[in-house]
A = this chain, B = another copy of it.
Amino acid sequence: MQTIVVALGERSYPIHIGNALLAQPELLLSHLVRPRVAIVSNQCVAALYLKKFTTTLESVGIRVVPIILPDGERHKNLDTLNLIFGALLADRCDRKTTLVALGGGVVGDLAGFAAATYQRGIPFAQVPTTLLAQVDSSVGGKTGVNHPLGKNMIGAFYQPQVVIIDTDALATLPAKEFSAGLAEVVKYGLIRDLPFLEWLEQRMDALMARDPAALEEAIARSCANKAEIVTQDEREAGLRALLNFGHTFGHAIEAAMGYGTWLHGEAVAAGMVLAARLSERLGYLDRSAVQRVITLLKRAGLPVEAPAISVDRFIALMAVDKKVDSGKITFVLLRHPGNAFVAGDVPDLLLREVLAGRTATHA
């Protein structure tokens, strides 16, 4: 087991990464105000892991209230949030009950926002079961739900007391979702950690074979990178923007195709290639560096070409993204592999050239 600490003063918390952690109750117990938890999960994850985890917790006297949500991103809204509140109130949970998210990013975002706002805030713990949640959404304190007019438009910054990442949970993850999680793993290497990028290039085959030691290392190094960024910029005032590498393009792809058609990680992968091409067009990267990005993402089972979207529509979709500041689209670009920066002044013409290179035949 490895432990990464997210250093946020009085809001600091550990991330434990290893195998068989769902069988170790003390990892959670030591963070409880009172031996009482409400576990938020979805139907799919609950069927696989809820009984096992509940048995673990009950073995040390923790009382468990399960709250099972319908599965899927389309339920990440205020109505589902209200289901959680109703269940907590029906069970008369008070401010000393800890809310535990057992599941992927949707469960974590919903449960985290519920914890942030139930009785104005109760303790929270993350037990992510998808690779994407383990390396990205469970770390950093972003929580929230979607609005019909925009994704993640409603939420809070709210840090957990502890994050418990059991790599065994990845055994049941579909290949497509596993690859989608790897997109964010590769991202950390690309934006700020060249040694990790090189490690990924050496160990990608082991990761794709879900080798336990490789998984633990990849997750720990991803979490360490995210923790360092979050520590320096908890509320997304600046540095944290680097985490959006590939995401401005990726969100537009997701929106254009209809959310859920492309997985988030898949859209981010294709978006990272576009960001690399834009970096090349602006003179930062050479062609071989772009090819290096493409090669690694392909080995991770990820798409490297955006789907057919007209240039105008692509730009319009990027402009509604909430990272737009005063009408100007900002991009995260690569100065070189392992070093990203925020560019707020990309000439429209160059952007269109890069997008047209991907989409001209379908525009």
A92 at the interface (CB under 8 A from B): yes
- Nearest-Cβ distance from residue A30 to partner chain B, whole angstroms: 20
Q: Which residue of B lies closest to A120 (CB)?
A: B155
B34, B236, B320: the one within 8 Å of A92 (CB): B320
A322 at the interface (CB under 8 A from B): yes
Q: Is the CB of B155 within 8 A of A117?
A: yes
CA distance A322 to B120 in the complex (A): 11
A119 at the interface (CB under 8 A from B): yes
Main DSSP-derived SS at the A contact region: mixed
A142 at the interface (CB under 8 A from B): yes
A213 at the interface (CB under 8 A from B): no
Copies in the complex: 2
Q: Is the CB of B154 within 8 A of A117?
A: yes
A107-135, CB < 8 A from B: 113, 116-121
In the bound complex, residues from chain B placing their C-beta under 8 Å from that of A235 are 120-121
A32-91, CB < 8 A from B: 34, 78, 81-82, 85-86, 89-90
Q: Which residue of B lies closest to A79 (CB)?
A: B78
A199 at the interface (CB under 8 A from B): no
- Nearest-Cβ distance from residue A343 to partner chain B, whole angstroms: 19
Q: Is the CB of A121 within 8 A of B85?
A: no
Contact with B along A133-165 (1 / 0, CB 8 A): 000000000101001111001111100000000
- Contacts A94-B324, A120-B155, A142-B120: A78 and B89 contacting too (C-beta < 8 A)? no
In the bound complex, residues from chain B placing their C-beta under 8 Å from that of A144 are 117, 120
Instruction: Name the residue in A90, A120, A320 with the highest tally of chain B Cβ atoms < 10 Å from its Cβ.
Output: A120
Q: Is the CB of B119 within 8 A of A89?
A: no
Size class of A's contact patch?
35 or more
Q: Is the CB of A153 within 8 A of B89?
A: yes
- Nearest-Cβ distance from residue A352 to partner chain B, whole angstroms: 22
CA distance A320 to B90 in the complex (A): 11
CA distance A322 to B95 in the complex (A): 8
A325 at the interface (CB under 8 A from B): yes
Q: Which residue of B lies closest to A145 (CB)?
A: B117
Q: Which residue of B lies closest to A155 (CB)?
A: B120
For the A-B complex with A116-B156, A120-B155 known, give 9 more contacts whose Cβ atoms are closer than 8 Å: A89-B153, A117-B117, A118-B153, A119-B153, A120-B156, A120-B157, A120-B235, A121-B156, A156-B156
Binding site for B on A (CB under 8 A): 34, 78, 81-82, 85-86, 89-90, 92, 94-96, 113, 116-121, 142, 144, 147-150, 153-157, 235-236, 320, 322, 324-326
Closest CB pairs A-B (n = 9): A89-B149, A120-B155, A117-B154, A78-B78, A85-B147, A120-B157, A89-B150, A119-B322, A120-B156
